[in-house]
Amino acid sequence: MMAHVSSAMTHLVLDIQTSACSFLDLLVHHYPALVLPFSSQLWQVFVGAKE
């Protein structure tokens, strides 16, 4: 699932990037243990997507 979120965060369509960030926010709030092992990878994708 995190591979899909990471991919969507770097998608060319802004609406898909926005949806990915919203979905990630939902996961962090409701299932933090699921996101924690991927936090380093997701951070790199997030920072790279904003450059």
- The predicted-structure confidence for 9-38, as pLDDT tens digits, reads as follows 888 999 999 999 999 999 999 999 999 998
Q: What does the buried/exposed string (b/e) look like for 35-45 if buried means 16 or more CB atoms within 10 Å of the residue's CB?
A: beebeeebeeb
pLDDT at 50 over 70: no
Count CB atoms within 10 A of the CB of residue 18.
13
Domain containing residue 13: 2-50
Q: For residue 30, what pLDDT is reported?
A: 97
Q: For residue 2, what pLDDT is reported?
A: 83
Q: For residue 31, what pLDDT is reported?
A: 95
More confident site: 25 or 44: 25
Using H for helix, E for strand and C for coil, what is the string for the chain? Answer: CHHHHHHHHCCCCHHHHHHHHHHHHHHHHHCHHHHHHHHHHHHHHHHHHHC
pTM of the model: 0.76
Q: For residue 27, what pLDDT is reported?
A: 93
- Token pair for 38: 């991927």
